[in-house]
Amino acid sequence: MGDLLQELEIKRTINACGIYTDLGGSRLSPGVIDAMLDVNRDFVQLGPLLDETGRWIAETFKAESARVTPGAAAAIMLGTAACLAGTDGDRSEQLPNTAGMKANVLIQAAHRYKYDRQVSLTGATLAEVGTENGAREDQFCEALERQDVAMILHPAHLDGKAGTLPLEKVVEIARRYHVPVFVDAAYMVYPVEMIGSYIARGADLVAISSKYFGGPNAGGFIMGKRHLVEAVSNVHFTAYESGSVLKFGRPLKMDRQTIVAVVVALDEWLNADHDERYADYRRKVDRLHDQLSGVPGLSLEPKCFTMDERFVDEPANALLITVDEAKANRSAASVADALFDQKPYIATIQEGDRIGVVMDVLNDDEVTIIGERIRSVLLA
């Protein structure tokens, strides 16, 4: 990094956690960086760039239409605003005042999650169906009959949760009332067939985050029904200065470099050898395992750290280190703190007596440094 960055004491951190927004998301590939440099040389018209990149995404996933957005959280916000305002420019300008619009968004009570907050930012009201134990069809129908419903939000990672109505059932009910179903599938990017699966299962809008497929931290896309993606364009940032309405989504603007990076990263992801990607994680896990074997008080297990932050058996992308405090003379938390607090800063997943070293965005040199640091902390 340059002199200024050094002066600012930027905390370069070795990321052994995986994909986290606070750690910067993913690492962009040389191909993605090249594409960003390439589009940086010339100016392009952003409206047509969004149309063209959207067309490619839509064709790729057999959706009617799509649009690159500054992330999945932005896609939830823009998709909700689109369902409120439609293609009416005055309504786009009127938001977050929802007077005269259908402005309730339904979510199953057992589906409440951190990102549902983006719905409320548009001025819409999030209304729960059922209880935290689940929801029934008659409860959905009653809500749809009694309330002015603009959209149903369905988080893909909670689909099928015990007691809740699955996506297919929600879609079937929603169609009867002509209400669109929005699926937040932000991290449903592997196996790659999963990306398009929600469209095939009847979702009207789907959000994906590019941080999970090697794209920019502040990138992603929304895809779905043509009239709804057209409504997304009506609330998205372009034509604010040049157009006649002050569109709602103006702060959610994007650089041409980011828009291009999203589609180039997506193309690379779809064409990547994912078996080789996992084989590479496994090699790193085994190397770290070798480096740490024999350190007193540690037990070492290859594990898979999942997108919903659980350690399961397969396929391995992490080394799970259990620290026996009595034998190691240190707790797992104090080891993790020692890794995180001194240069080079190393961020790990730490819970209870365990430390997870996740390989997803680590290179070989970093794995070696992590092994040496853990040894030096424990053998000091």
Ligand X SMILES: *Cc1c(COP(=O)(O)O)cnc(C)c1O
Instruction: Name the site residues for ligand X (rule: CB under 6 A).
Output: 21, 71-74, 115, 157, 184, 186-187, 209, 211, 220
Using the minimum distance from each CB to ligand X, give the nearer residue, 21 or 45: 21
Pick between residue 190 and residue 330 the one whose CB is nearest to ligand X: 190
Residue 108 or 209 having the CB closest to ligand X: 209
Name every residue whose Cβ is closer than 8 Å to that of residue 286 and which is 6 or more positions away in sequence: 302
**Of 186 and 229, which CB lies nearer to ligand X in the complex structure?**
186
Alpha-carbon distance of 195 to 197, in angstroms, equals 6
Residue 114 or 343 having the CB closest to ligand X: 114
- What residue is closest to ligand X based on CB? 71
Helix-helix angle 226-235:46-61, to 10 degrees: 150
Min. distance of Cβ 210 from ligand X in angstroms?
Answer: 7
245 in Cβ contact with 92 (< 8 Å): yes
Instruction: Tell me the closest approach of the beta carbon of residue 243 to ligand X, in angstroms.
Output: 26
54 vs 371, beta carbon nearer ligand X: 54
Q: Where are the alpha helices (DSSP H) in 123-221?
A: 137-146, 167-176, 193-200
- C-beta separation of 188 from 208 below 8 A: yes
Burial status of residue 111 (CB atoms within 10 A of its CB: 0-12, 13-18, 19 or more)? buried
3-class DSSP state of 366? helix
Looking at the Cβ atoms of 100 and 191, the one nearer to ligand X is 191
Least Å from the CB of residue 241 to ligand X:
25
- Closer by beta carbon to ligand X, 104 or else 217: 217
Angle, helices 256-271/30-41, rounded to nearest 10 degrees = 150
**3-class DSSP assignment, residue 335:** helix
Cα-to-chain-centroid distance, residue 316? 21
Phi, psi for residue 122 in degrees, rounded to 5: -80, -10
Judged by DSSP in three states, 275 sits in helix
- Cα separation, 15 vs 305, in Å, equals 14
Please identify which residue in the block is written with the tokens 């790659």: 192
As to burial, measured by CB atoms within 10 angstroms (0-12 exposed, 13-18 middle, 19+ buried), residue 281 is buried
Tell me the closest approach of the beta carbon of residue 369 to ligand X, in angstroms: 27
Q: How far is the CB of 209 from ligand X (least distance, A)?
A: 3
